Structure 1
């Protein structure tokens, strides 16, 4: 899924928070390390924020327009499952932004 090409103006920030050593965070660590530069090349001014915190349950936080945020817990998900979760969060942006 090419969710990173659909970010546009509807999503303001995407934050990845995970543990640098925990097994629960392995999927998101791999996804970010493999794809970060591809995402950044497609969206050079978009803030992809990566935070590593010891022993934390991994999550993705997306900030939409008007400060609305959605958080998805992503512990123990593999890379393809993570792509689906992120794609769903990005796809929700028009619905979330239109309700405000």
Structure 2
């Protein structure tokens, strides 16, 4: 098990939801699929009340959406981004 998999990823109360959109088979979404495989379980364990939604759709460009208090949303494109780079993006949201 890699050290990065053991990190605690605890979010501020202002974060209300994460949504990850990805394609099940495209090369552009490989990092997003790897991120889910490597880090989803620990993120959910550390944030049991936070909705973390994984949305698969054929041909969609991968994107991470974060919803904050008062309905404010921020999205980041994840095309050809590695799982570790996605983890850094997620951690910067804490």
TM-score interval (norm. to shorter): 0.7 to 0.9
TM-score by length of 1: 0.81
Per-residue deviation at 1:44? 1.0
More helix by share: 1
Pick aligned residue for 2:9 from 4, 12, 28: 4
CA RMSD, Structure 1 to Structure 2 (Å): 1.5
Instruction: Render the CA deviation track for 1:4-59: whole Å, top value 9, x for unaligned.
Output: 21x13110000000000000000010111222111111111110000001001100
Pick aligned residue for 1:57 from 61, 81, 88: 61
4+ residue stretches of structure 1 with deviation over 3 A? none
TM-score by length of 2: 0.86
Which residue matches 1:44?
48
Tell me how far apart the structure 2 counterparts of residues 17 and 3 of structure 1 sit (CA, whole Å): 23
In structure 2, the gaps of 5 or more residues are none
Per-residue deviation at 1:3? 7.1
CA spacing shift, 1:47–1:13, aligned 2, 3 Å: same
| In the alignment, structure 1 residue 20 sits paired with structure 2 residue 24 | yes
Tell me how far apart the structure 2 counterparts of residues 86 and 8 of structure 1 sit (CA, whole Å): 12
Per-residue deviation at 1:80? 1.8
In structure 1, the gaps of 5 or more residues are 92-100
